[in-house]
Amino acid sequence: MKIPLSRVYIDDVIKQRILAAVDSENYILGKESKAFEEELATYTGTKHCVLSSNWTSAVQLLMLALGVKPGDEILVPSHTAFPSIEPIVHAGAKPVFVDVDETYTVNVDEMAAKVTSRTVGMIPVHLYGHPANMDALLALAQKKNLFLLEDCAQAHGATCNGKRVGSMGRFGAFSFFPSKNLTVFGDGGCLTTNDTAIADKVKMLRNHGRKDKYLHEMVGFNMRFNEIQASVGREQLKHLDDFNARRRQAVAWYRQRLAGAPVQLPVERPGCVPVYHMFVVQVDRRDELAKFLKEKGISTGMHYPVPNHKQPAMTSLYKDLPVLPVTERLVDRILSLPIFPLLKEEEVDYVCQQIKAFFKV
């Protein structure tokens, strides 16, 4: 049996929508993109959604729109994908790395302890599809007068106390990379917000700083979205809740079948409904297990084996990087198991059987 780590959903309707977008002869920021923005805003429960070429560009434009400058500090977990911190550095600000808790999301107490007079904002990451501790984070942001950007790149549709991610902080940012819960078959991203002024500014910045074709109010960028990918995203959005429910069903199968095995399963925070972009367990002898599963036709991943405060790009820039004991311990133990909406029960059975065979239980 061959089981990939993830698998993209595609059907005939999506193929037809792609061809329709091609036949429209309007390929950039047209009717499909506008409709996708409106539908995403409605889905997340925000006033505005601004599409961009990817998550990183959307957040880079936001940093510029907010006036983030050299000398500013932004709090961010180290245990996340490297793109979470790139826009901070590109803006000239400094990422202040924070440890994580048992849900793999940022430790709020440590985040609070690292606020200084230079801190202007925070970027909690809803890692692996699990919402961060938003109640505590929102209270901290209000108390310290910080902007809060939710990194929702892996958490489309996840909720915290009944509210969807991307609607609770001042801003949210999503990625539509092919492996995400909501994809557009390529790179793509968006910003969600209730802040009309910032949304309008980001819209201009993504399109050469202009409101109309020949009038440029700012020096902007070409970070626009295209109609073909918008047509795919609109169809994928129709399936998102069902797909997330299927992911959670697959996780329930994993939990049942891995009971009693020497595997540390993900923890869910009360009030949160994660959507399991990744199903990440912790095990001893991680590398040996990954090799064993590969030989059995099972793909796995490590998200992420090198924390960002130890990445060469960071150690060459900063000399005062912290020690983060939880992060530094878990990166040697985490293993991502196959998870995607159409994962079959018998495939989960096979994965779990092989894990138990490895550990001889």
Indicate the helix (H) or strand (E) that contains 151.
strand 147-151
Does the residue 150 lie in any domain? yes
Q: Are 85 and 76 in contact (CB under 8 A)?
A: yes
Q: What is the pLDDT of residue 212?
A: 87
Mark which of 187, 219, 234 sits at the end of a domain. Answer: 234
In what order do the strands lie in the sheet containing 272-273? 163-164, 159-160, 272-273
Same domain membership, residue 322 and residue 180:
no
Using CB atoms within 10 Å of the CB of residue 299, give its burial: 0 to 12 exposed, 13 to 18 middle, 19+ buried. Answer: middle
Q: Is residue 126 one of the residues assigned to a domain? A: yes
* Per-residue confidence (pLDDT) for residue 174, from 0 to 100: 98
Cα–Cα distance between 44 and 166 in angstroms, integer? 6
Tell the residue number behind the tokens 């959005």, with chain if given: 237
Domain that holds residue 99: 12-234
253 and 322 belong to one structural domain: yes
Question: Buried b / exposed e across 312-336, counting CB within 10 Å, b at 16+?
Answer: eebeeeeeebeebebbeebbeebbb
Phi, psi of 32 (to 5 degrees): -65, -45
Pair 29, 151 in one domain: yes
Successive 10-residue mean pLDDT values, the chain, 361 residues: 96 97 96 98 98 98 98 98 98 98 98 98 98 98 98 98 98 98 98 98 97 93 98 98 98 97 98 98 98 98 98 97 98 98 98 98 94
CATH number of the structural domain spanning residue 282: 3.90.1150.10
The answer to whether residues 270 and 215 belong to one domain is no
Radius of gyration of the chain (CA): 21
Q: Does any domain span residue 108?
A: yes
Residue 56 sits in the same domain as residue 174: yes
Residues 183 and 250 in one domain: no
Whole-model pTM: value is 0.97
Q: Is residue 218 domain-shared with residue 259, that is, in the same domain?
A: no
Q: What is the pLDDT of residue 211?
A: 85
Provide the Cα torsion 28, 34, 37, 38; round to 10°. Answer: -170
Q: Which of 234, 249, 276 is the last residue of a domain?
A: 234
Angle between helices 286-295 and 345-359 (to 10 degrees): 130
For residue 210, being part of any structural domain is answered with: yes
Mark whether 137 and 203 lie in a shared domain: yes
Q: What separation in angstroms does the CA of 194 have from each of 57, 112, 116?
A: 19, 25, 27
Per DSSP, 165 falls in state T
The span from the CA of 312 to the CA of 330, in Å, is 19
Examine the domain organization and report whether 16 and 100 are in the same domain.
yes
pLDDT of residue 234: 98
Q: What is the residue whose two structure tokens read 């130890």?
A: 310
pLDDT at 285: 98
The reply to whether 113 falls in a domain is yes
* Residue 190 belongs to some domain of the structure: yes
Q: How far apart are CA 317 and CA 336, in angstroms?
A: 30
Q: Is 239 exposed, middle or buried (0-12, 13-18, 19+ CB in 10 A)?
A: middle
State which of 234, 255, 287 marks the end of a domain.
Answer: 234
Phi-psi region of 94 (alpha: psi -120 to 50; beta: other; left: phi over 0): beta
Query: For the chain, how many structural domains are there in total?
Result: 2
* pLDDT the model gives residue 250: 98
Q: Do 205 and 130 share a structural domain? A: yes
| Residues 130 and 50 occupy one common structural domain | yes
Domain membership flag for residue 7: no
Bridge partners, 301 (sequence order) = 336
Q: Which residues of 3-41 are buried (b: 16+ CB within 10 A; e: fewer)?
A: bebbeeeeeeebeebbeebeeeeeeebbebbeebbebbb
CATH of the domain at 226: 3.40.640.10
Cα separations in angstroms, 113 against 74, 105, 121, 141:
13, 16, 14, 13
Three-state DSSP string of 185-234: CCCCEEEEECCHHHHHHHHHHHECCEEECCEECCCCCECCCEHHHHHHHH
Q: Is 229 inside any structural domain?
A: yes
User: Residue 256: what are its φ and ψ, rounded to 5°?
Assistant: -65, -45
Same domain, 181 and 305: no
Burial class of residue 342 (count of CB atoms within 10 Å of its CB; 0-12, 13-18, 19+): exposed
